[in-house]
A and B are shown apart, each in its own frame.
Chain A
Amino acid sequence: MVRREARWSSWPTWGAGQVTLVVAAVVLVIASLGAVLVTPADQPRLAVAFGALIVLGELARLAMPGNRETAPISTAGALGYALLLNIGGTERAAHSAMQVVAVTAIAMTVGALPHIAVGRLPRLDVLARRLITVAAAAFAYRPLAPHLDLHGAWWTAVAAMVGAVTLAMAADLLLTALVRAEALSARVGVALADEFQAQIRLDVAVAATAIIVALAIGIMGIIALLVFTGPLLVTQIAFRRYAAIRSTYLQTVRALARVTEVGGYVEGGHSRRVGDLSVAIGRELGMYEAELLELEYAALMHDIGQLSLPDPIPGGATVFADADEQRRIAKLGAEVIRQAGVLENVATIVEHQCEPYKPNPELPLASRVIRVANAYDDMVGGSGDVDRSQAALERLRLDVAMEYDPDVVEALARVIDRAGRL
């Protein structure tokens, strides 16, 4: 069976924000390379050492939950280079902000080559954003560097470093949120909150490491580069495991949700489509990422209660079964999920997925979303036919306010409209 790609999200296409980012980064790279060519590089040995570290960091890229690509060691190395004041005691670091950008850009390109060689194409907008992040810190901090001194007023220097990395991280969060909001059709405020929630801890670790490297090289010399990544390496290992189990978890639920299809209880691809559509509607309604994950789990497993029926309902569609029976199946499904003991919210969502909107508008929003998405998919199924989808939407609108939440149905209409225009 060919797996249908998610129709409701437009990740692979390029938005204006992503194009702007890449263009800005390209301009930055050309300017910095030009500047370095005109005035020869300061302390080339240092530049090469940091470049090597950034290359290694790029090799150890990290895919965080939610399709987020980061390279903590690379970013920490580049920021550390930007923050450097002196090398092994008295020698001052004299490089310019332009040189920081040039070294980072070259090293990031070199680091991307092995990934390309094995067929993992880099996401240009992500590389561009990370370069711009580093550039922000470098342009803010390098002009101050000659006035800062670690031997006297070290706290001024450390405060300047903290300010520079904070600026860089804030820029990173903002740019990421803007791009994601555009790509996923989410609200900017929600996207920013999601980014903050997803990235802030790793960002703090990266920022601390960048300051550590700048200070440690100041006292220990270039050899500190070998040592300083230790704490961040431990952090990265922990995050890698976390990201892996998150993705495994989602895969498992997605796959096992299909037992109802293999068993002939529902039409093939139903749970996956309801999952994707629910997430798209939820995002349209401004739900946060954590809520969307629970919504997706619940949507994927919404038919699991049917497993306790001895034989499938003819036709497979729950929308044609009577209301009491539907509610009983939903309850059985919730019981199955509750068995796991870890998905209490998901169980609650599944339990209420069949309640009509009218007498109890206080139902969980996620339940109301699944009710609409499920009804829509029962009528339209995997067909991409526009007339059929409009007819289904009309039928849902007839029952609005009694059966379905009007806001959810309108969000569905917008999602369908957008998918149709692509």
Chain B
Amino acid sequence: MTSLPLAGRLYIVGVVLAAAVTLGFGDYHGIPWVDVAILGVLFLLCESMPTYVATRVSVTVSFSAGLASVVLLGPVGAGLVVLTALFSLHRGLPVIKRVFNAAQFALSAYCAGLVFVWLHGKYGLPQASEFPGLIGPYLLAALVYFGVNSLLVGGVLASTGQIRFRSPKYLHRGPAIVHVANYAAYATFGLLIAALWSVIGWVAVILVLTPLVVARWAFAQYTEQQRAHEATLAAMCQAVETKDYYTRGHCVRVSKGSAMIAEELGMHADRVDAVRHAGMMHDVGKLGVPTRVLQKSGPLTPDEFAKIQLHPMRGVEIVREIGFLDEATAGILHHHERIDGRGYPMGLAGTEIPEFARILGVADAFDCMTSTRAYRGARPVSEALDELRRCAGTQFDSRMVDAMISAVEREGWDPPRPVGPPDSPGQVAKQDHDDPTAPLRVSGDPAG
């Protein structure tokens, strides 16, 4: 508490006092204490157990429990039920937060209760004759509960200086409509609990919570599988790189760099994930290029160069069976095209090149330049960015280059640690097809 700014302290004390006064002067006549206790336990359990319904959307079912209390117990009863937030099972939650949470929940529930009684005329076990008239007042009460709750929590974040205005790119990540739909869904659970309560009492709670507990299980499985998938993908892509000592970790860094560009461009979260996967797998086709060619030190014969140029196609051959990758597949195929049309394998130019490929091209070259190679040391980040700028418009798409530059300037970049020469010289490539500063030399090619 002492570490908080004065405004924050005053705000918290104000909210807690308001809650205490409201509940202290409430009308306790005819409160069904058993139901208050049952709903209180329910609210506490729900509050302690957030349910994730989407990757970045967590809603606690306590919203439903609180609203059910509003219908069944009225303003004062509902205010008492939600006070159980004080005993939240979140370990390590400071007392001050517990007290504030309980107070703000009590005020939200009390206000919702007032609105509900004002519009509907009564509270208590809903009878069949009250439907569907009860639904309108209920929805407004839910809106008030949500609104007061958001205001009070927003207030404490602002007054204690914890609020941070996010950079615009995050606006694309969690569409507000998802949140609204979620709260609407959870509001209906509250109504269900209240309605069923009048027939089967507290058993209603078990019935309504069962599907939600199952959903929670499924979502936990989903999260776990997703994590496992990412880890397996990274491990297998890194396995492909063990062939070359210096490019280890290249796929992971290109994946990260590509995702940074995509986020900077404000892409939707699903597409950012797809770019990330494309970056991870962009070079798996290199395995189709004989080691002898990859590690050759002199100029390449046109035939060997053709083998190198084939690696994006080999990569696509591998990844095209992965259904979710549609756009990423195109990105992998074309990640060595150039804006001026002099790239490979197809020689596409300008916007003919898929967006993903233009992103991958920049991230790929950037990581190559900032890593050590057998024939040169790693370049500093700033120098590599200059090089990208220089090649913008000819080799790279300027829009992607600008995005990479501003993302790196804001978030920084961890280049790989400089590595010394390997123990066995057998694992070293003498030139790198990704390097824009030292293009592959092909015998008979005047530019080489």
Contacts from A to B (Cβ < 8 Å): 1, 3, 88-90, 150, 154-155, 158, 201-202, 204-205, 208-209, 211-212, 215-216, 218-221, 223-224, 227-228, 230-235, 237-239, 241-242, 244-249, 251-256, 258-260, 262-264, 301, 304, 307-308, 310-311, 336-337, 339-343
Per the bound structure, the CA–CA distance linking A372 and B387 in Å amounts to 54
| B210 at the A interface (CB under 8 A) | yes
Smallest CB separation, B325 vs chain A (Å): 9
* Residues of B with C-beta under 8 A to A343: 228, 232
Smallest CB separation, A263 vs chain B (Å): 4
Provide 30 A-B residue pairs closer than 8 Å at the C-beta atoms, listed in order of the A residue: A154-B199, A209-B211, A212-B207, A215-B199, A215-B204, A215-B207, A219-B196, A223-B135, A227-B192, A231-B215, A234-B53, A234-B211, A241-B222, A242-B225, A244-B324, A251-B324, A253-B232, A253-B236, A255-B319, A255-B322, A256-B237, A256-B281, A258-B317, A264-B288, A310-B291, A311-B290, A336-B235, A339-B234, A339-B235, A339-B238
Contact between chains at A259 and B199 (CB < 8 Å):
no
Per the bound structure, the CA–CA distance linking A152 and B242 in Å amounts to 73
Which of these, A208, A230, A241, contacts B189 with CB under 8 Å? A230
* Residues of A with C-beta under 8 A to B225: 242, 245-246, 249
* Residues of B with C-beta under 8 A to A235: 211-212, 214-215, 218
A346 to chain B: closest residue by CB: B232
Smallest CB separation, A350 vs chain B (Å): 12
Contact between chains at B222 and A242 (CB < 8 Å):
yes
Contact between chains at A342 and B185 (CB < 8 Å):
no
Within 8 A of A (CB), among B160-175: none
B225 to chain A: closest residue by CB: A245
A239 to chain B: closest residue by CB: B218
Contact between chains at A201 and B233 (CB < 8 Å):
no
Which of these, B200, B218, B319, contacts A238 with CB under 8 Å? B218
| B126 at the A interface (CB under 8 A) | yes
Q: Write the B219-230 contact mask toward A (1 if CB under 8 angstroms, else 0).
A: 101100111110
Contact between chains at B211 and A256 (CB < 8 Å):
no
* Residues of B with C-beta under 8 A to A234: 51, 53, 185, 211-212, 215
Contact between chains at B323 and A251 (CB < 8 Å):
yes
Known contacts A220-B195, A336-B235; decide if A308 and B242 are in contact (CB<8 Å): yes
| B217 at the A interface (CB under 8 A) | yes
Contact between chains at A227 and B188 (CB < 8 Å):
yes
Smallest CB separation, A223 vs chain B (Å): 5
Contact between chains at B196 and A342 (CB < 8 Å):
no
Smallest CB separation, A158 vs chain B (Å): 6
Which of these, B210, B288, B292, B322, contacts A205 with CB under 8 Å? B210
Which of these, B192, B288, B318, B323, contacts A248 with CB under 8 Å? B323
* Residues of B with C-beta under 8 A to A259: 236, 239-240, 284, 287, 318
8 closest residue pairs by CB, A with B: A89-B128, A263-B287, A340-B235, A238-B218, A208-B210, A231-B211, A342-B228, A235-B215
Contact between chains at A205 and B196 (CB < 8 Å):
no
Known contacts A88-B131, A219-B195; decide if A262 and B287 are in contact (CB<8 Å): yes
* Residues of B with C-beta under 8 A to A339: 234-235, 238-239
| B198 at the A interface (CB under 8 A) | yes
* Residues of A with C-beta under 8 A to B212: 231, 234-235
| B3 at the A interface (CB under 8 A) | no
Contact between chains at A249 and B215 (CB < 8 Å):
no
Per the bound structure, the CA–CA distance linking A202 and B128 in Å amounts to 30
* Residues of B with C-beta under 8 A to A227: 188, 191-192
Given contacts A238-B219, A310-B291, 6 further A-B contacts (CB under 8 A): A219-B127, A242-B219, A252-B233, A255-B322, A336-B239, A343-B228
| B92 at the A interface (CB under 8 A) | no
Per the bound structure, the CA–CA distance linking A230 and B181 in Å amounts to 11
* Residues of A with C-beta under 8 A to B158: none
Contact between chains at A89 and B129 (CB < 8 Å):
yes
Contact between chains at A215 and B321 (CB < 8 Å):
no
Known contacts A202-B214, A251-B323; decide if A262 and B285 are in contact (CB<8 Å): yes
Known contacts A259-B236, A340-B232, A341-B231; decide if A220 and B131 are in contact (CB<8 Å): yes
Per the bound structure, the CA–CA distance linking A90 and B129 in Å amounts to 10
| B380 at the A interface (CB under 8 A) | no
| B427 at the A interface (CB under 8 A) | yes
Per the bound structure, the CA–CA distance linking A262 and B242 in Å amounts to 16
Per the bound structure, the CA–CA distance linking A202 and B188 in Å amounts to 21
* Residues of B with C-beta under 8 A to A258: 317-318, 321
* Residues of B with C-beta under 8 A to A223: 131-132, 135
B236 to chain A: closest residue by CB: A256
Which of these, A219, A232, A304, contacts B126 with CB under 8 Å? A219
Smallest CB separation, B193 vs chain A (Å): 10
* Residues of A with C-beta under 8 A to B227: 342
Known contacts A245-B225, A263-B287; decide if A154 and B200 are in contact (CB<8 Å): yes
Smallest CB separation, A257 vs chain B (Å): 8
Which of these, A155, A209, A310, contacts B243 with CB under 8 Å? A310
| B208 at the A interface (CB under 8 A) | yes
* Residues of A with C-beta under 8 A to B233: 252, 256
Contact between chains at B131 and A304 (CB < 8 Å):
no
A258 to chain B: closest residue by CB: B318
Per the bound structure, the CA–CA distance linking A340 and B126 in Å amounts to 54
Contact between chains at B128 and A90 (CB < 8 Å):
yes
Which of these, A241, A248, A304, contacts B239 with CB under 8 Å? A304
* Residues of A with C-beta under 8 A to B222: 238, 241-242, 245
Per the bound structure, the CA–CA distance linking A111 and B189 in Å amounts to 27
B131 to chain A: closest residue by CB: A220
Per the bound structure, the CA–CA distance linking A132 and B362 in Å amounts to 58
* Residues of B with C-beta under 8 A to A208: 207-208, 210-211
Smallest CB separation, B375 vs chain A (Å): 20
B132 to chain A: closest residue by CB: A223
| B122 at the A interface (CB under 8 A) | no
Known contacts A251-B322, A262-B287; decide if A219 and B198 are in contact (CB<8 Å): yes
Smallest CB separation, B186 vs chain A (Å): 8
Per the bound structure, the CA–CA distance linking A301 and B232 in Å amounts to 11
Which of B228, B236, B243, B284: most chain A CB closer than 10 A? B236
Per the bound structure, the CA–CA distance linking A155 and B200 in Å amounts to 8
* Residues of B with C-beta under 8 A to A263: 287-288
| B314 at the A interface (CB under 8 A) | yes
Q: Write the B141-178 contact mask toward A (1 if CB under 8 angstroms, else 0).
A: 00000000000000000000000000000000000000
A261 to chain B: closest residue by CB: B318
Which of these, A3, A260, A307, contacts B242 with CB under 8 Å? A307
Within 8 A of A (CB), among B111-130: 126-129
Per the bound structure, the CA–CA distance linking A1 and B317 in Å amounts to 9
| B426 at the A interface (CB under 8 A) | yes
